[in-house]
Amino acid sequence: MSARSLSKGCFVFKPSPKKRKVSQTTADYFREGSSDLEDSELRFATCQSLWKQVKSETEEIEEELNEQLFDNLVSFLRRSHSAFQEKTTEWTHRMKSREIPTAALVLGVNVTDHDFTFRSLSEFLQNSVTPYVALLEAKDCPGIKKLMQKLLGQLMNCCVDVDSSEEEDYEQVSHNRIRCSMTSLISWHGIQSFLFCCLLFINAHPMALKRTDTETPGKKRTSSRHWLSPPVVVIFKDMESFTTKVLQDFVVISSQHIGELPLVLIFGIATSPMIIHSLLPHSVSSLLCIELFQSLSCKDHLSTIIDKVLLTTQFPLKLSEKVLQVLINIFLYHDFSVQNFIKGFQLCIVEHFHSNPLSILCCQLEEAKMRVNSLSHNQCENIRRLPSFRRYVESQVSEKQIALLTADSSLKIRELHCACLENRVWETEEYESSLQLARMLNKSDLVTMLQKCVEILVSSPGKEFDEIVEKLKEFLTQFQKLEEVYQERDETVSPQKELQKKTDLYHLQKTLLELKESRRSKKLTKFEMLRFEVVDHIDSLVRRYLVPADHKTLHEIVYFNAASVLREHLNAAPRIALHTALNNPYSYLKSEALKSDGGSISNKAPDICIAYKLHLECGRLINLVDWLEAFSTVVTAAEGPTAQAASSDQVDDVIQYPFPFLPQ
């Protein structure tokens, strides 16, 4: 069975039914691929549960962030709809001018994240405002026909979804659906009449429902009743990719029927609201009554996610600095997409648990303790092999060294201790940022910065870390005392500042220099002493607790630091790979014969590399004959010393062969 044919391009292979066994689960593949067989199942389970936690957490965060926007949208919907119901002057005015209430949602260029936003938006609307929500995508609506079909299908499905819990209902709806699809078939020719029928149906439908409601008085009172006639919300997910004509037609047609049908449009806009006016001509855009809504910027979104997912104690897996850098770079320089960031994080989790046999200990502390106690001998060997553990051993006394290297039990106790230590370190990770600010005080004396730092310190232990080291609290009180001192100091500083403000940049620099010098020469003031004291404290603190993760013993368990893997799989560069393969085949084919110095054309290289280099030497246009000849010159030089005897005819034949393999 091979997938080769001259008349066919697609081949389906089905296993014979008796041969078909229970297909392997994901865990099986995990076990096959991972280096250590012992506890891959547990590892996989840990990995999956961690990923699930992260996923639900990020989704929660996303929903929280969107809440404000959705609330605004709902209040907009209610407002425009109540106007319709009460037939206020505003609405009658609107009806005369046939304006459709429209919400323009400016979402930003990260198209990949919009999916989730819209899904939760339509859910939210369905729950709180109206059962009639249709979500249209440009790729499904190349023409107005398709658009109406899609819209109707979705609206009817919506009705079925929300209303159907009684069988009678269901029958009626499905019956209606068939009729409507028939009417839609019949009335292709006149879109106007077609739309009218559908609108009639949509309007008639709640009435029909109500009748069944009164007939069978049950607890189910649909929202349609509550709303009298709920608005029909049509969401255009990606406004930019719709064709102008479709949008125009839809707006014009629906504006004709706005009197009978309470329609509200929501446009999802990736660029700027100007696009509405460039997509729709004035005559059409004047039919819309647009209100703008701004979504949260993706940068804020990402920073909340980093804060709440990566920098908390809740999730045991941490990213090393380099990995985080790669992820953030992809975000900032390429796509601004939070989804892709999370995808990268998922890949990190998978890679970590897949490649690292000790990742089994990457879980909450209590569980880790249990797992440590049940570690096998092999696993202990693995621990001993870790570079960070070696370093730790080297720093210990010799007796202990021997004990650590041979007896598993003592190792386990050590390990637990290390794990505790580790925990504490990453608990204080948020500190790092604040303390870096403090360290900057050495250079510039911005008092405000220190105050800010104090604020962060005050807020962080209070909110998140209860079991923080006692000492820190002491320092905190000292900080608070200091603050008072600073304020005094501030007053004395202020005249100097005023002075600085008046002078221009050059003078400012000069005065600053002078100030610096004077300070240096001056004996330490009270402020200076205090400052140095603080910095020393912080310094010692930093030294003790915040050594970079790499220096910690057993950091490998909780830190994922294969940045290159991540970059390779997420942000690949096929061009570079092709170029290096063609230019320097040695980097792939580790053959001594291929080792050569950069520029020259080696005649031992694979044919395709020779042809590529000759092609690089030419200009824009290449004469095939000359190219062929140059190629044969290079290759015969290669064959010359070995095979003189071959007839030149034969050689030429063979030499022509690489060329058909090059694209035309």
Partner 1 sequence: RTLTKKKDKMSNLVEEYFEAHSSSKVLTSDRTLQKLRRKRLDQQTLRDLLQKSSLAYAAEIKELNQQYESLFSKWMLQLHLGFNIVLYGLGSKHDLLEKFRTSLLQDSVHLVVNGYFPSITVKSVLNSITEEVLDHIGTFRSPLDQLEFIMKRFKEDSSLELYVLIHNLDSQMLRGERSQQILAQLSSLPSIYLIASIDHINAPLMWDQAKQSLYNWLWYETTTFSPYVEETSYENSLLVQQSGSLALSSLMHVLHSLTPNARGIFRLLAQYQLENKDNPSYPGLSFQDFYQQCREAFLVNSDLTLRAQLTEFRDHKLIRTKRGADGVEYLLIPVDDSTLTDFLEKEDEDV
Instruction: For residues 425 and 547, give the distance between their C-alpha atoms in angstroms, rounded to a whole number.
Output: 9
Instruction: For residues 141 and 248, give the distance between their C-alpha atoms in angstroms, rounded to a whole number.
Output: 13
Q: What contacts 24+ positions apart, CB below 8 Å, involve 19-22?
A: none
* Residue 512 CB neighbour total at 10 angstroms: 13
Residue nearer to partner 1 on the CB measure, 377 or 575: 575
Instruction: For residues 234 and 101, give the distance between their C-alpha atoms in angstroms, rounded to a whole number.
Output: 11
Using an 8 Å Cβ cutoff, are 457 and 450 in contact? no
| DSSP reduced 3-state for 103 | strand
**Which H/E stretch holds residue 335?**
none
Among 20, 282, 520, 543, binds partner 1 (CB under 8 A): 20
Residue nearer to partner 1 on the CB measure, 24 or 364: 24
Q: How far is the CB of 280 from partner 1 (least distance, A)?
A: 22
Among 575, 599, 600, 642, binds partner 1 (CB under 8 A): 575
Q: How far is the CB of 115 from partner 1 (least distance, A)?
A: 8
Among 596, 606, 615, 639, binds partner 1 (CB under 8 A): 606
Q: How far is the CB of 53 from partner 1 (least distance, A)?
A: 15
Residue nearer to partner 1 on the CB measure, 450 or 655: 655
Give me 56's structure tokens.
């639900």
Among 569, 616, 643, 646, binds partner 1 (CB under 8 A): 569
Among 499, 524, 572, 616, binds partner 1 (CB under 8 A): 572
Decide if residue 188 touches partner 1 (CB under 8 A).
no
Strands across the sheet containing 100-106: 133-136, 232-236, 263-269, 100-106, 288-294
Decide if residue 15 touches partner 1 (CB under 8 A).
yes
Report the candidate in 594, 592, 619, 613 with the shortest Cα–Cα distance to residue 658. 613
36: phi > 0 → left, psi -120 to 50 → alpha, else beta; which? beta
Report the site for partner 1 in 110-149 (rule: CB under 8 A): 110-112, 115, 139-140, 146
Residue nearer to partner 1 on the CB measure, 8 or 282: 8
Q: Which stretch binds partner 1 (CB under 8 A): 67-75, 356-364, 395-403, 603-611?
A: 603-611
Decide if residue 274 touches partner 1 (CB under 8 A).
no
What is the separation, in whole angstroms, between the first and last Cα of the chain?
Answer: 32
Among 505, 599, 620, 641, binds partner 1 (CB under 8 A): 620
Residue nearer to partner 1 on the CB measure, 274 or 576: 576
**Three-state DSSP string of 574-615:** HHHHHHHHHHCHHHCCCCHHHCCCCCCCCCCCCHHHHHHHHH
Q: Which stretch binds partner 1 (CB under 8 A): 22-30, 242-250, 253-261, 493-501?
A: 22-30
Decide if residue 649 touches partner 1 (CB under 8 A).
yes
Report the site for partner 1 in 224-263 (rule: CB under 8 A): 238
Decide if residue 589 touches partner 1 (CB under 8 A).
yes
Report the candidate in 129, 219, 208 with the shortest Cα–Cα distance to residue 174. 208
Residue nearer to partner 1 on the CB measure, 333 or 661: 661
101: β partners: 289
Residue nearer to partner 1 on the CB measure, 142 or 218: 142
List the x/- string, 75-114, binding to partner 1 by CB under 8 A.
-----------------------------------xxx--
Q: Which stretch binds partner 1 (CB under 8 A): 23-31, 356-364, 413-421, 427-435?
A: 23-31
Give me 235's structure tokens.
């969401």
What is the pairing mode between strands 263-269 and 100-106? Answer: parallel
Decide if residue 463 touches partner 1 (CB under 8 A).
no
Report the site for partner 1 in 143-182 (rule: CB under 8 A): 146
Decide if residue 510 touches partner 1 (CB under 8 A).
no
What CA–CA distances, in Å, run from 563 to 8, 319, 468, 560, 566? 43, 9, 31, 8, 5
Report the candidate in 207, 212, 559, 638 with the shortest Cα–Cα distance to residue 356. 559
Among 292, 540, 626, 643, binds partner 1 (CB under 8 A): 626
Among 42, 204, 413, 578, binds partner 1 (CB under 8 A): 578
Report the site for partner 1 in 31-70 (rule: CB under 8 A): 32-33
Q: How far is the CB of 239 from partner 1 (least distance, A)?
A: 13
Decide if residue 652 touches partner 1 (CB under 8 A).
yes
Decide if residue 300 touches partner 1 (CB under 8 A).
no
**Which H/E stretch holds residue 66?**
helix 40-86
List the x/- string, 342-381, binding to partner 1 by CB under 8 A.
-x--xx--x---x---------------------------
266: β partners: 103, 235
Q: For 1-36, give one letter per residue: b (16+ CB within 10 A) or e.
A: eeeeeeeeeeeeeeeeeeeeeeeeeeeeebbeebeb
Decide if residue 26 touches partner 1 (CB under 8 A).
yes
